[in-house]
């Protein structure tokens, strides 16, 4: 039972956007307080259904989990583990500033040198100022790219065209949310999550304030 309650649950805000990953134990607490509802995809009609905790328990009674690891045993019955829950009291996006760090640049550029296009281990990569600092280039998202050692050495303190190099993509400030991205990197993705982890969700502009 304890092992089942530690299983990860994806949390959606009222806009149906992924904002967190929590343990099933915490998810049941939110459901019991009526702060959230279970989201379940009914494959028969290819649509999503939303359940309160009592309705979910009733649904579990008539549709017990095939895999025992997908359920929690209570005194009276086995309740299906919720894999996705929808908050009923929170509809804002997380307002966290994305820091310009080496790892975040590598994450944005997918460990690909932005000049030759090859993918490397992070230990084999450098950060390059597209417009060199001695030309007035600043350390910003729009002027820093991931570069392999060979391309970085070849470019040196020159502009890309001076070194006969071309960027494969214009550098921009990422719009993905650092907190949820970090959590997802550390969690196994349950199949029920795939409908809510579309790239469109991660490209939503963050709200200010």
Write out pLDDT tens, residues 160-192.
999 999 999 999 988 765 445 555 655 566 777
Q: Which CATH number fits domain 102-163: 3.40.50.300, 3.40.50.2300, 1.10.30.50, 3.40.50.150?
A: 1.10.30.50
Mean pLDDT of the chain: 82
Q: Is the pLDDT of residue 90 over 70?
A: no
Exposure string (b/e) for 163-190, b if CB count within 10 Å is 16 or more? eebeeeeebeebebbbebeebbeeeeee
Task: Give span(s): CATH 1.10.30.50, the chain.
Answer: 102-163
Residue 23: enclosing H or E segment and its boundaries?
strand 18-23
From the list 158, 161, 152, the residue with the least C-alpha distance to 116 is: 152
Q: What is the pTM of this model?
A: 0.52
């Amino acid at each position: 039972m304890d092992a089942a309650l530690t299983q990860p649950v994806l949390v959606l805000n009222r806009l149906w956007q992924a904002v967190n990953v929590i343990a099933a134990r915490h998810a049941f607490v939110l459901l019991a307080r009526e702060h959230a509802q279970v989201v379940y995809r009914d494959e028969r009609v290819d649509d999503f259904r939303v359940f309160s905790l009592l309705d979910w328990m009733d649904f579990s009674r008539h549709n017990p989990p095939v895999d025992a690891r997908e359920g929690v045993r209570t005194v009276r019955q086995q309740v299906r583990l919720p894999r996705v829950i929808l908050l009923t009291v929170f509809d804002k996006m997380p307002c966290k500033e994305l820091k310009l760090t080496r790892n975040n640049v590598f994450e944005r550029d997918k460990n690909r040198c932005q000049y030759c296009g090859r993918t490397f281990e992070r230990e084999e990569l450098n950060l390059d100022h597209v417009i060199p600092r001695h030309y007035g280039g600043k350390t910003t998202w729009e002027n820093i790219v991931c570069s392999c050692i060979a391309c970085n050495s070849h470019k040196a303190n020159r502009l890309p065209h001076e070194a006969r190099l071309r960027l494969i993509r214009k550098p921009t400030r990422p719009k993905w949310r650092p907190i949820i991205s970090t959590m997802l990197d550390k969690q196994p993705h349950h199949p029920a999550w795939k409908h809510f982890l579309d790239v469109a969700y991660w490209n939503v502009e963050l709200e200010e304030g």
